[in-house]
Chains A and B, each alone.
Chain A
Amino acid sequence: AQSVTQLGSHVSVSEGALVLLRCNYSSSVPPYLFWYVQYPNQGLQLLLKYTSAATLVKGINGFEAEFKKSETSFHLTKPSAHMSDAAEYFCAVSPNTNAGKSTFGDGTTLTVKP
C-alpha cells in the first residue's frame, strides 16, 4: 500500500523567493518518488524523480528535491521563484517494481506574486 500527502493545497511566494512544496509518503516497499507539474488544461510534466540513487535529486527548471527516509519526505524546492513557475504541482509514489502504479497527492497550487 502507498499514499502521498501534500501539505498545503495552496502556496504563494513572491518572485525571487524560495519555493518549498511539501510531500510526505508512505509505502510498504522501497519507493520511487516523483514530482510533476501541470499547467492549465495540459497533461503532467515530470520535474524530477527519485529512484534509490542519490537522495538529492535535481530536476528541470531549477527544481530539486531531497529524499529523507527517516522523515518519509520528498519536499520540492527552488531557490528563486519565477513567474512562470505558477502551476499545479503533484507528488507521486510508486513501488520499485516494473510498471507499478503511481499514487498521486492532491496537488499544490503555486502562485508567484510579482
Chain B
Amino acid sequence: GAVVSQHPSRVICKSGTSVKIECRSLDFQATTMFWYRQFPKQSLMLMATSNEGSKATYEQGVEKDKFLINHASLTLSTLTVTSAHPEDSSFYICSAINRGTYNEQFFGPGTRLTVL
C-alpha cells in the first residue's frame, strides 16, 4: 500500500521559533496533500490543501502567514509553523491522495509539536 512519512515525529521548541514539518509520499506521486491539526480526543481539523506547483488553499480561520505550506514536488510537502506559541502545540497530520484511488487519503504518522 501507499506509504506517507512525516518528519519529525516529535518536536519541542521555544516560543517564538519556527518549526518545519515534512510530509513525504514514499512510493507514489501525490498530486494533492492535506494538512490537519488534531487536538486531544478530537477529530481532524483540515488546515489547508496543498497542490503540487501551486499555492496552498487554506481553510477559513487558518492564518496562512503563520502556517506556511510548500508543495515543492509530487512527493514532498512541508508545513512551517512560524513564530510558534504554546497555543500552536498540537498533533499535526498530513495526508496524500494518489490519483485514481477514489480520494482515499494515505495518512502520515503525525507530528507532535510542543511549544514551551
Contact = CB atoms under 8 A, between A and B. Distances in A.
B40 to A, nearest CB: 10
Nearest to B5: A43
Interface stretch (A11-19, A45-53, A66-74, A75-83): A45-53
Interface string A25-50: 00000001010100001111110010
A55 to B, nearest CB: 15
A111 to B, nearest CB: 13
Interface residues of A, number: 27
A54 interface: no
Q: Considering residues B4, B44, B46, B99, which has the most beta carbons from chain A within 10 angstroms of its beta carbon?
A: B44
30 contacts: A32-B102, A34-B104, A36-B107, A42-B109, A42-B110, A43-B4, A43-B6, A43-B107, A43-B108, A44-B105, A46-B104, A46-B105, A46-B106, A49-B104, A90-B44, A96-B102, A96-B103, A98-B99, A98-B103, A99-B97, A99-B99, A99-B103, A100-B103, A101-B34, A101-B46, A101-B49, A102-B105, A104-B44, A107-B42, A109-B41
